[in-house]
Structure 1
Amino acid sequence: MAEIDTSGGGGHGKGGKVRGKKMSTRVDMTPMVDLGFLLITFFMLATTMSKPTSMTLNVPHKEKDEKQKQAEPLKASKVLTIFMGKNNDAYVLDGVAADDEKAPEALAKVGYGSELRDAILKAKQRVNAAFPLEEDGSEPFVAVIKPTPVSNYKNLVDVLDEMAITKTKRYAMVDNLTDSEKKLLGDKITP
């Protein structure tokens, strides 16, 4: 509580002049500290803490038996290959293998975001219209994501976001490039 200190000499000495008592005040800060802690507690409980965000990644189911299911190689006409190059550029190869003679003309540079999304949707529509559903009922369209040494982590996250946005269920991440892909991309993937 606030206390008033009344100690100190008054004006009862010689001289006949009566002075008022000198009073000093001392404020007790205990209630203010209590109020501060109550406010901190209130704001901690009333605010929403930031929730960690994570990305969902579709992974294949494990085979129950020891033998791996033999899969036939993918046809290039069912595949959209996405190469992540330097300077935040992406290159797509739609329906053509890298060792095909048409590959240099088919290789297209796209930006991340709406350009890449449009390329994925166009390729998905082309493949799904041309080929029947797979035996397990899944779409025939497959996207192959190929990061390069000059791409960065943000580029990979952007491509995976586009896979989620376009609802592409079948995609693969391959971290090595074939010799024909290296030759096709040339200086686009060199540091």
Structure 2
Amino acid sequence: MKNLPQKVRSKKLVSKVDLTAMVSVSFLLIIFFMVVGELSKKKVMNLGLPDYDSYTCGERVISCDGEDRSYTILLGEDNRLVCYKGLLSTPIVSPKHIAYGKDGIRKELFKENKNTLNYSAQLGKPGRGIAVIIKPSKKCSFKNLVDILDEIAITGIDTYVIVNDFTPEESKLIALN
């Protein structure tokens, strides 16, 4: 027999695919869509609106019990604090100077909120406590404003607003010792 030339067979190479880059891109896409999904959610803020009790000739009539619930706190310089309930011209609780802390403003806020909650329950509107109006003067320290916000959080009052416009009568009242 003759030696036949043998066929030369090429070696089969095992091909490997490097997936490192694809995994990195996949994780970046997952993170991107998670962030976009979180940012696209609607943010909701509670909004306190007046009650609409009845309708007259197709128009809404708003109940006017706001001054019974409003409690104003005036913040002055040198840790001065004046509070009153209702309107300053016809207050339900007369303006009085009061101290910060648990025996001062906190005790007063607890008392007034409890009285207002009881009064609202008698009117058939349970759960409506006082609405606090905080008025810091230009000479008031930031610490005093934070202290009042802490007291409101401690007392569980959920309706409050910070306003920076003083009437001339309120400016005179906060200036008195």
TM-score of Structure 1 vs Structure 2, range by shorter chain: 0.5 to 0.7
Assess if the C-alpha contact under 8 Å between 1:146 and 1:175 holds in 2.
yes
**Bigger strand fraction:** 2
Aligned-residue identity in percent: 20
Structure of larger gyration radius = 1
Q: Distance in 1 between matches of 2:78 and 2:101?
A: 15
1:173 to 148, 154, 162: 162
The CA RMSD measured in Å over matched residues stands at 3.2
Answer yes or no: is 1:154 the counterpart of 2:138: no
Answer yes or no: is 1:98 the counterpart of 2:84: no
Aligned to 2:174: 188
1:82 to 73, 83, 91: 73
Assess if the C-alpha contact under 8 Å between 1:150 and 1:189 holds in 2.
no
Q: Distance in 1 between matches of 2:66 and 2:83?
A: 16
1:160 partner SS = helix
Q: In structure 2, list runs of 5 or more residues that go unmatched.
A: 1-43, 52-61
Q: TM-score, normalised by structure 2?
A: 0.57
Answer yes or no: is 1:145 the counterpart of 2:134: yes
1:131 partner SS = helix
Q: For residue 144 of structure 1, report the CA deviation from its aligned partner.
A: 1.1
Q: TM-score, normalised by structure 1?
A: 0.53
Q: Distance in 1 between matches of 2:111 and 2:46?
A: 31
Q: For residue 126 of structure 1, report the CA deviation from its aligned partner.
A: 1.0
Q: For residue 139 of structure 1, report the CA deviation from its aligned partner.
A: 2.4
2:71 partner SS = strand
- Structure 1 residue identity aligned to 2:88: A
- Structure 1 residue identity aligned to 2:134: I
Answer yes or no: is 1:111 the counterpart of 2:95: no
Q: In structure 1, list runs of 5 or more residues that go unmatched.
A: 1-59, 64-68
